[in-house]
Chain A
Amino acid sequence: MSSELQQIMVESTERIFSDTVDKKLLDAVESGEFPQQLWKLICENGFHLLATTDSGADLADAFAVLRVAGRYAVPIPLAEVLLGNRWLDGSDDNLISIGERSGDRTLTVPWAQQAARCLAVTPDNRVFEISDYQSTSGRNIAFEPRDTLSGNFTEIKTDDDAYELMALSRLSLASGALNRVLELTIQYVGEREQFGRPIAKFQAVQHNLAVAAAEVAAATRACDGAVEAIGEERFVLEVAAGKGRVGEAITVVTEIVHQLHGAMGFTHEHQLHHFTRRLWSWREEFGGESYWQSRLGHHLHSLGADSVWDFIASAK
């Protein structure tokens, strides 16, 4: 898909998510209610099939949509649905979920109870469908359902770098959410007054936001780099670099935006935590910073000190 079409698609997703995903919905989902209306809307617009091989869109388009989903903390396992339909050649409105396989169990499967089919991926990029499973329910830091399944595994053939695409989904979502929390904070410090003026006027506040903005920009570009490398030999390494760098940004930015929101942002009534708690979850899912940084580091060591610059400079 051309960048112009991608832009149109991003704008239309943006419209739908901004109209439908609000604090009320996020709270309802957090209390255990599956967002049926939102799911229906996603299916009606065909977003769930965007990553299938005959959709006419590129994988990059699907990840552009995931950034938007991150911006609104869309409480649907959209990444799982997109990639699940791709790997299962899906064409209907079944909910598909995906977790990470660890031995004979599959961990952190979103909404397994609601899903029609569940998949598991391994760090060596194999994909399995799980059948006849038993599930233990759990939740991530954002209180989103993340179940643990054990059952029968049947391997599904795909040429995709499945695990790395799942990791990329987390860094795309995070890139979107990081931009959003920065915007929310800029807005808040302009409205909140202390000592007779908006706290945005205080240099300490300005400097902390500048630091956060720099981290958000770095995360955005790190995500770009990984998306641009889809299908290329260095994809895994760009994902590794991206997941590591975005993880670092999440640590810095979530701390600053909460600090600047004061006690208000620490309340459940405020919307900020719907984003920050997801960021903390996505940072860990499908490999945390140290996992990906060490994969990149081992690779760079194997290249040798004199080839590391060439690796860095060979990014497109």
Chain B
Amino acid sequence: MLQFDPVQLPDSSHALRDEIRQFLAANMPSGHRPNSDFLSGHNPQFSELLGTHGYICMNIPVEYGGGGRSFFDRYVVAEELLAAGAPVSAHWFSDRQFAPVLMQIGTEQQRKKYLPDMCAGKSYFSIGMSEPNSGSDLAAIRTSATKVDGGWRVNGTKLWTTYAHLNHYMIALVRTAPVSENRHHGMSQLLIDLHDDSVDIRPIKNMGGDEDFNEVVFNDTYVPDEDVIGEIGNGWNQCTAELGYERSGSERFLSTFRVYIEFLKLFTDPPNDLQAAAIGRIASNIMALRRMSLSVVGMLEAGKMPSIEAALVKELGNNFEKIMPEIARLAAPLDADKTEFNRTYRESILLSPSTTLRGGTREILRGVIARGLGLR
């Protein structure tokens, strides 16, 4: 059965929370319109400023430029940034999963080379999993890496790669051996420089008019042996383990949080009981999700790889962040000035189809949970 043990934030987190709030009050970029979605603001200046103040890679050891603190401290900073609607997209993947991955399975050389800039908020990573014919069926990837002297030649196409056009590196899942009886064998993770001339990156406009995801084509791209992440042939297991970091965080239920704040601001007069119930219902859902998310942080801190529990947090959180703006819209007072509410609501609904797709579709997550329940 799935385990969500009670977890309490360490006392150190209170001072840290005050500190990051003061930082945000003083340093939120001017002209930035807050939105709690973690992909809604790619702002290198702001990421560097966060890095300078030690708010990125807090859970990475000091010797590599990190904060030498716990997963809990990283969690506190991350949730404060999202709740405030700060632009965090640039460093998000580095901070959330790739720095911990390098700590876990990277070589000493890789840690020394990449972690300091990641920790400083200067080095941005993209996730390289999906492909044109490999969405939920990740084992169907065709991008291949062929062994050459001193490294690998990569050919193929990655798709839906968020911020590949603005980020520095991709950690890509590629085939290093042909498909065998076990489809999960023969895959490996490579760290690829997105600025290499052999890499073509084409932004794809989404339905909301934004360009944040891309098609990335590798044309005989050379990757030296020292940029192989983990073990050759172990890519599938490594990706699966990585999902514990990727799926459990507060970005899986706070994407639409700003809608809630603007909803509350509509009540210049006290809400009636049914409107108050809508306000309370939303809060109670966030509170429960946050406790579940913290249970997973507790497991990460203990060195476990809670990929199934993480899938469950994402499944529940994504569904909630989709329905929450609807609860708010329907309970909003009829005669209020809804300018700001409508702005955040519109951003949220235009984003909403992606939340149950990115990072693992609802259908895949439910399958993962079912496996955790022993059904498959």
Using CB atoms and an 8 Å cutoff, list the residues of chain A in contact with chain B: 183, 186, 189-190, 200-201, 203, 205-207, 209-211, 213-215, 217-222, 224-225, 228, 238, 240-242, 244-245, 248, 289-290, 292-298, 300-301, 304-306, 308-309, 311-313, 315-316
Contact = CB atoms under 8 A, between A and B. Distances in A.
Listed from nearest, the 7 A-B pairs whose CB atoms lie closest are A297-B276, A296-B280, A297-B279, A293-B280, A297-B280, A206-B370, A305-B264
Interface string B122-150: 00000000000000000000000000000
Contact of B370 (A209, A238, A245, A297): A209
10 contacts: A209-B369, A209-B375, A210-B373, A240-B284, A290-B277, A293-B279, A294-B276, A297-B275, A304-B264, A315-B291
Contact of B286 (A183, A306, A312): A312
B261 A313 contact: no
A316 B9 contact: yes
A296 B265 CA distance: 16
Nearest to A200: B375
Nearest to B76: A313
A305 B265 contact: yes
Contact of B264 (A201, A206, A221, A308): A308
A210 B157 CA distance: 33
A222 B6 CA distance: 10
B166 interface: no
Contacts of A205: 375
A200 B370 CA distance: 9
Contacts, number: 171
B287 interface: yes
Interface in B242-277: 257, 260-262, 264-265, 267, 270-271, 273-277
A207 B280 contact: no
B366 A218 contact: no
Contact of B281 (A242, A293, A308): A293
Per DSSP, are chain A's interface residues mostly helix, strand or loop, or mixed?
helix
Contacts of B292: 217-218, 221
Given A225-B291, A242-B284, A305-B261, 10 more contacts: A215-B316, A221-B6, A221-B288, A221-B292, A240-B280, A241-B284, A293-B279, A300-B264, A313-B80, A313-B83
Nearest to B266: A305
Given A207-B363, A213-B373, A312 B315 contact: no
A228 B366 CA distance: 30
Contacts of B79: 313
B374 interface: yes
Contacts of B316: 214-215, 217-218
A308 B295 contact: no
Contact of A221 (B4, B281, B369): B4
B289 A218 contact: yes
A6 to B, nearest CB: 11
Given A183-B1, A218-B292, A293-B277, A189 B369 contact: no
Contacts of A219: 288
B279 A315 contact: no
B290 interface: yes
Nearest to A225: B291
A292 B283 contact: no
B229 to A, nearest CB: 30
Contacts of B284: 222, 240-242, 244-245, 293, 296
A205 B287 CA distance: 28
Given A221-B291, A295-B280, A315-B291, A206 B312 contact: no
B367 A308 contact: no
B373 A224 contact: no
Contacts of A203: 367
Contacts of B265: 305
A225 B295 CA distance: 12
A290 B291 CA distance: 22
A289 B375 contact: no
Contact of B280 (A209, A244, A309): A244
B324 interface: no
Contacts of A189: 375
B224 to A, nearest CB: 42
A186 B267 CA distance: 45
A244 B8 contact: no
Given A201-B376, A245-B288, A313 B4 contact: no
A285 B370 CA distance: 32
Nearest to A211: B366
A296 B295 CA distance: 24
B332 interface: no
Contacts of B264: 300-301, 304-305, 308
Contacts of A300: 264, 279-280, 283
Contacts of B372: 213
A240 B289 CA distance: 15
B103 interface: no
B285 interface: yes
Interface in B301-345: 312, 315-316
Nearest to A216: B2
